Structure 1
Amino acid sequence: MSDNKIAVLYVDDEEHNLFSFKATFRIKYKVLTALSGAEALDILAKNQVHIIITDQRMPEMTGIEFLEKVLDKFPDPMRLLLTGYADMNAVIDAVNKGKIFHYLAKPWNEEELDLTINRAYEKYLERVQLKEMNEKLEQSNDQLEFLLRQKLLS
């Protein structure tokens, strides 16, 4: 059953936020949590994750810095940024550098976050499908090129 669930990684340096998120969403989603960007990168290396939700303000690595690293190593998961303060520069950086899908203010609203996770997952599935179609198209082009070369050579 858990293999069919959307895998969500929630990153926040405040443990009570992680507990709250897990308590709220553990039945509906496969919830993974991390107290830091470094811990989250380890989790990403060992698990398939569809959605990443990260807090912006964290000690060693901000949410944006974390998302930039994620983008380099794990470009597929959809990225959401949570922040408890209205810092437009952080939001702009997140969009530009971390290529986030959506920005949400803390404290999060359960219904809004749930809807956003589902919208992000739909987008994730669209991207996976597009990637697969492009790979098939590339393979077809290679086969066609091979056949044309064979025809030209004979």
Structure 2
Amino acid sequence: MSEQKITILYVDDEENNLFSFKANFRMKYKVYTAISGDEALEIMEKQAIDIIITDQRMPKMTGVEFLEKVLEKYPDPMRILLTGYADMNAVVDAVNKGKIFHYLTKPWNEEELDMTIKRAYDVLLKKREVEDMNEKLATSNDQLEFLLRQKLLS
């Protein structure tokens, strides 16, 4: 069975950063890039995304505002915030409102970002595993309840 590539959406209003990210990670991961929160949301309508990495400071919609919108429709993807400033308010907002997994400062370090992506993906897989087990458990409970009712009725 071939290992499926992790799907990442990288959002940044600086085109150079989009090119740089894609150049660094396109061989390892399936990478989508967006120059704005709105463009990123359009991509998410068409593509299943595992991990979102977004810049905080963007015109029209900050990274935190974007992540809040993402949460409304797509609660599953792991969220990573990049900030070029020691902007603690943005970080606190991101944790509280955007429910981020991690935040990193810009410019990002390739090795650190790669490790963060892998850790985020591990957490995502565990989350999916738990959801899958809960679903199976609910089905088993329904079947058991049905069998008990049949016994009681006969």
1:119 partner letter: R
Q: Are 2:38 and 1:41 equivalent residues in the alignment? A: no
Q: Give per-residue Cα distances to partners, 1:56-79, cap 9 Å, x unaligned.
A: 011111101111111111111100
- In structure 2, the residue matched to 1:145 is 145
Identity percentage over the alignment?
A: 75
The offset of 1:149, in angstroms, is 1.3
Q: Distance in 2 between matches of 1:69 and 1:143?
A: 38
> In structure 1, how many angstroms separate the alpha carbons of the residues matched to 2:148 and 2:27?
54
Cα RMSD after superposing both structures: 1.4
Amino acid at match of 1:33: T
The offset of 1:152, in angstroms, is 1.4
When the two structures are superposed, what TM-score results if normalisation uses the length of structure 2?
Answer: 0.96
Moved over 3 A (4+): none
- Offset, 1:146: 1.1
Matched, 1:51 2:51: yes
Aligned residue in 2 for 1:99: 99
Partner secondary structure for residue 4 of structure 1: coil
Alignment TM-score, normalising by the size of structure 1: 0.96
The one-letter code matched in structure 2 to 1:81 is: L
- Give unmatched runs, 5+ long, in structure 1: none
Q: Which runs of 5+ in 2 are unaligned?
A: none
Query: How many pairs align?
Result: 154
Residues 103-142 of structure 1 aligned to structure 2 (within 5 Å): 103-142=103-142
Aligned AA (1:140): S
